Structure 1
Amino acid sequence: MSSIAGVIGFPTGGSYVASKFAVEALTESLAGEAAAWGIKVTMLEPGSFATTFGSSTLFAPAQPEYDTLKSSIRAGFNQENTGDPAATADIILKLVDTSNPPLRLILGSSTLPMFKLIYKKRLDEWEAWSSLSNAAQKVSE
């Protein structure tokens, strides 16, 4: 189980985000290894869902230096984009019955637009820095 945090890092979420990025890499590697035996692997990438995750999370003691940052992160959360976990069960069962499942399945209607935005930013940044990147191998453009 990955998460939106396996694709998009966010301030104050370092250890959680790192674990989800690791799940993405491990699952992608596993899919490549298992394919030779006809085994298909899918990671779920949910956005925000109405679960008890937030209430069960342990937080470090408050540090006033982070108050502004934490407030801005909370302000960006839109309750209307929170999915219903009960609706997801049927989706997972449909996925299991699919003959050619995807490596990644995004869950939630707001996640894909966020992924598109972050990948566009990444592609634009990589392109903008391609001359310097290519110089590391003495590749001419």
Structure 2
Amino acid sequence: MRTSAPSAPRTWFVTGASRGLGRAFAVAALERGDRVVAAARSIVPTDFDERHGDRLLALTLDVTDRAAVFAAVDTAIQRFGQLDVVVNNAGTMSSGMVEEFTEAEARAQFEVNFFGALWVSQAVLPHLRARGAGHIVQISSIAALGGFPSTGMYSASKFALEGMSEALAMEAATFGVKVSMVQPGGYWTDLYTSMASTTPMETYGPLRAELERQWADGSIDSEPRLAAEAVVKLVDSDDPPLRLLLGSMVYDLAFDISRRRMDTWASWEPVSRAAEHAVPAP
């Protein structure tokens, strides 16, 4: 891991910046002397230390509104001249079994977690591409490592985010623009307390009871500040990774899931290889 301190203050564009991880990212950038465009559905400059003064631009933004996203990026460019680090942090979580989701509930999960990040990425890329520099950081989740009961739709939205971002990373690299996905574990934010829930179906009662037993001891989460410190190290790196795991639990889980997948692939290797035999085009 090679890092180098930036030669001049950078400009960050952070979505979901009014609270939780987003606010921690914005504060960390401001405290190191950088400029920050802090965007959220509801945000005011007084959410931050007034000492940051003209290095902070607070923008009210609904990331699901594509036109508003492009307008916000234009406003940021007009104010600070350029963007260097873009953190797609805005996100929501909906809890429920896959069968329970209505169409509206399923689409709402994707509107913020996937399409919101897509619109921001599309809006900033022309500016970063023109400069031949910049770093887009997609805040993903432990849920992108695998699906789990009651978080299937949330996982689906994060899987979609990572599939898009992996392709974006290869496309953007052509122009000197970096893309990274950050996969955090548990942090003390309001993600869980503010999440929406489906109307429960009685048939899933036993499974819900089992999940409640598993979660009975509660969650031991970390301070958002630690995630912010990791993201600062990420954007300071001369060779940032495509994916960065945050937390020991996530780190261990990623390896466990990967090993189990590799074991399954290996056990089915004969079937997999037998399914391919190239023939001339008909």
Decide: shared fold, TM above 0.5.
Answer: yes
- Give the counterpart letter for 1:106 in structure 2: L
- Is 1:106 equivalent to 2:245 in the alignment? yes
Q: 1:29-67 CA deviation, whole Å, 9 max, x = no partner?
A: 111111111211111101122111111111112223222
**Deviates most, 57-66 or 69-78:** 69-78
Of residues 180, 183, 202, the one that matches 1:42 is 180
> Any idea what SS the aligned residue of 1:34 has?
helix
Gaps of 5+ in 2: 1-138
Of 104-113 and 86-95, the range deviating more from structure 2: 86-95
- Within a 5 Å distance, the mapping from 1:77-116 to structure 2 comes to 77=215, 79-80=219-220, 82-116=221-255
Residues 73-93 of structure 1 deviation map (CA, whole Å, 9 limit, x = unaligned): 34444623x222122112212
Of residues 7-16 and 126-135 in structure 1, the stretch that sits farther from structure 2 once superposed is: 7-16
Answer yes or no: is the 8 Å Cα contact 2:179–2:242 preserved in 1.
Answer: yes
Looking at secondary structure, tell me which structure has more strand per residue.
2
Cα distance in 1 between the residues matched to 2:272 and 2:143: 26
Whose helix proportion is higher, 1 or 2? 1
Q: Matches of residues 117-136 of structure 1 in structure 2 within 5 Å?
A: 117-136=256-275
Unpaired runs of 5+ residues, structure 1, are none
Partner of 2:155: 17
Q: Residue 240 of structure 2 aligns to a residue in which SS? A: coil
- Secondary structure, in 3 states, of the residue corresponding to 1:53? coil
Distance (whole Å) between structure 2 residues aligned to residue 44 and residue 5 of structure 1: 12
Question: Match of 2:142?
Answer: 4
From 197, 200, 205, the counterpart of 1:59: 197
Q: Distance in 1 between matches of 2:250 and 2:144?
A: 12
TM-score, normalized by length of structure 1?
0.89
Query: Could you tell me which residue of structure 1 aligns to residue 46 of structure 2?
Result: none
SS in 2 for 1:44: strand
Distance across 2 between alignment mates of 1:36 and 1:93: 24
Report SS of the residue matched to 2:245: strand
**More contact order relative to length (CA 8 Å, sep ≥ 6):** 1
* TM-score under structure 2 length normalisation: 0.46
Amino acid at match of 1:24: E
Q: Which amino acid aligns with 1:21?
A: F
After superposition, give the CA deviation of every residue in 1:84-110 in whole Å (9 maximum; x if it has no partner): 212211221221111111100111121
CA distance in 2 between counterparts of 1:36 and 1:136 reads: 35
